[in-house]
Amino acid sequence: MDLKHYLSERKIFVDQVLDQSLTVVNGPNFRVVQAMRYSLLGGGKRLRPILCLAAAEAVSGDAVQVMPVACALEMIHTYSLIHDDLPAMDNDDLRRGRPTCHKQFDEATAILAGDGLLTAAFFVLAEAAVQHPEQATAYAEITRLIAEASGYQGMVGGQMADLLAEGQPSTLDQVEAIHRLKTGALLKASVRAGAILGGGSPQQIEALTRYGEKFGLIFQITDDLLDVEGESGVMGKPTGMDAIRQKATYPGVLGIAAAKSQARDLVAGALSDLQPFGEFADPLRHLAQYLLIRRQ
């Protein structure tokens, strides 16, 4: 399969649905919706939605049916970027090649835009459950899963730990614990949610969850490596920031060569998790391999 074609096709599909999920009307909330749309629709690889769609397809599920979940995942991811970029957090000026939300608007608007996107994610999930009462219990399970992965038990907890670890010497265990929470939990939940709503068997859901967990780790290792070796122009944000901020990273504790080798081992493990799914899992296979060669 042609992964580039697959990704670009999927990205267009996801972008369309995201665009429709949030319409601006002239009202007292105009500015915050504008800021939400600025960040949500301003590019991005749409990795979490695509993982969710690909996991549904791996269990022969319907990609269209999974779209509300895919949308919610991207809204949550975008909110986390807006808040992480704030001056009180990472204080970043550039994101996806454009000014960050608080630079384009202002801090108050950016805080509210993040809050609005996080809330909108749960609105979209609840709306889908209302529209499909026959799947209300599956949606309840998925909503719980996504809330757990995004909240203090997951992403929010990981961002806290990441900030506290700045400037501190870290061990591999600590780096892994932070990243499992900060990025791993939501990536894993993206795959698992797609597998559940796609109608996977319990064994299939567990196998895909193991894949998702490895995917999260590979993603973070390669993300850390890109910050060392990547090109700022391609990535749409400055590189070398982890070192400047003394962040806890994989290349920081393992060295570049060992970090790369660990990423390759994890990809091999992820591919073996996908073995029972045959060609239905081709997109997931290619996605894991793509992480090793990605440039952004």
- Report the 3 state secondary structure along the chain: CCHHHHHHHHHHHHHHHHHHHCCCCCCCCHHHHHHHHHHHCCCCCCHHHHHHHHHHHHCCCCHHHHHHHHHHHHHHHHHHHHHHCCCCCCCCCEECCEECHHHHCCHHHHHHHHHHHHHHHHHHHHHHHHHCHHHHHHHHHHHHHHHHHHCCCCHHHHHHHHHHHCCCCCCHHHHHHHHHHHHHHHHHHHHHHHHHHCCCCHHHHHHHHHHHHHHHHHHHHHHHHHHHHCCHHHHCCCCCHHHHHCCCCHHHHHCHHHHHHHHHHHHHHHHHHHHHHHHHHHHHHHHHHHHHHCCC
User: Based on CB atoms, which residue is closest to a copy of itself, 100 or 235?
Assistant: 100
CB of 145 to a copy of itself, least distance (A): 8
Q: Is 119 one of the binding residues for a copy of itself (CB under 8 A)?
A: yes
Q: Is 159 one of the binding residues for a copy of itself (CB under 8 A)?
A: yes
User: Based on CB atoms, which residue is closest to a copy of itself, 156 or 172?
Assistant: 156
Scan residues 31-90 and list those touching a copy of itself (CB under 8 A). 31-33, 36, 79, 83, 86, 88-89
Q: Is 101 one of the binding residues for a copy of itself (CB under 8 A)?
A: no
Scan residues 127-156 and list those touching a copy of itself (CB under 8 A). 127, 129-130, 133, 136-137, 139-141, 143-144, 147-148, 150-153, 156
Q: Is 26 one of the binding residues for a copy of itself (CB under 8 A)?
A: no
Q: In the set 81, 178, 226, 263, which binds a copy of itself (CB under 8 A)?
A: 178
Binding positions for a copy of itself, rule: CB under 8 A: 22, 27-29, 31-33, 36, 79, 83, 86, 88-89, 106-109, 111-112, 114-116, 118-120, 122-123, 125-127, 129-130, 133, 136-137, 139-141, 143-144, 147-148, 150-153, 156-161, 163-164, 174, 177-178, 181
